[in-house]
């Protein structure tokens, strides 16, 4: 039965934002853990370790995010592992985020001039001490703006979880549209809600970028 778009529908859309944010946080936690490992391997002095990192990044970035969601939700069910939508989405997004965050953070590490390493050696610091006191503090300043920028992309990409039945903001918009048959109004509200999440982060990323340039 088709009905009018009501205030209660808007309330349900607002409630669905918490699942969008929740999935984003889970993806950042899982992806951040993987990304740290990939960044460390990619910045290693050993070619084999760098090869493993590049292989992971190339494989993950070569497959669409939607493909990873299908693998963990539909693919695993074929062999008897039925993951709930949240678990499948979390794993798929974590693998995806790990590749991109790993590349961002690896780039930040290798962007530090070699002379900084040499300065650490000259005052008697060990390799780990060089990382902790010299390299990582500088790399963090470089990595923060693109990391925040990637977070914006991740928030928007969580909409793909709707295809495996996970009820986040986009999926709730689909359900509301089916009930009210007012797609323009519903998706306009959905777009505004995504904008309210992403725009502050985008502005923050630009502010951080300007600050980093000012520190050079």
**CATH number of the domain bearing residue 191:** 1.10.3720.10
Q: Whole-angstrom Cα distance, residue 25 to residue 133?
A: 28
Indicate whether 2 belongs to any domain.
no
Number of domains in the chain: 1
CA angle 98, 147, 108 (to 5 degrees): 85
Indicate whether 193 belongs to any domain.
yes
Q: Find the domain containing 135 and state its range.
A: 7-215
Q: What percent of the chain has pLDDT over 90?
A: 64
Indicate whether 152 belongs to any domain.
yes
Alpha helices in 43-84 (DSSP H): 47-61, 65-70, 76-78
Indicate whether 68 belongs to any domain.
yes
Q: What is the pLDDT of residues 70-118, one digit of tens each?
A: 999 999 988 888 999 999 999 999 999 999 999 999 999 888 888 887 7
> Average of pLDDT values for 170-190?
94
Q: Does the pLDDT value for residue 174 go beyond 60?
A: yes
pTM for this predicted structure: 0.89
Indicate whether 1 belongs to any domain.
no
């Amino acid at each position: 039965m088709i009905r009018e778009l009501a205030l209660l529908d808007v309330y349900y859309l607002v409630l669905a934002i918490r699942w969008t944010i929740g999935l984003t946080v889970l993806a950042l936690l899982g992806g951040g853990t993987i990304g740290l490992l990939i960044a460390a391997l990619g910045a290693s002095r050993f070619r084999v370790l760098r090869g493993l990192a590049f292989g992971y990044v190339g494989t993950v970035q070569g497959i669409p995010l939607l493909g990873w969601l299908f693998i963990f939700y539909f693919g695993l069910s074929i062999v008897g592992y039925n993951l709930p939508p949240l678990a499948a989405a979390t794993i798929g997004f974590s693998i995806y985020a790990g590749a991109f965050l790993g590349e961002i953070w690896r780039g930040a590490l290798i962007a530090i001039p070699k002379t900084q390493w040499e300065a650490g050696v000259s005052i008697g610091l060990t390799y780990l001490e060089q990382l902790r006191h010299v390299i990582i503090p500088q790399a963090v300043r470089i990595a923060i703006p693109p990391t925040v920028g990637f977070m914006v992309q991740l928030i928007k990409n969580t909409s793909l979880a709707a295809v495996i039945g996970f009820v986040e903001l986009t999926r709730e918009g689909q359900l509301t549209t089916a009930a009210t048959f007012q797609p323009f109004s519903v998706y306009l509200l959905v777009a505004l809600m995504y904008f309210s999440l992403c725009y502050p982060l985008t502005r923050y990323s630009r502010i951080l970028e300007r600050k980093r340039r000012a520190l050079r």
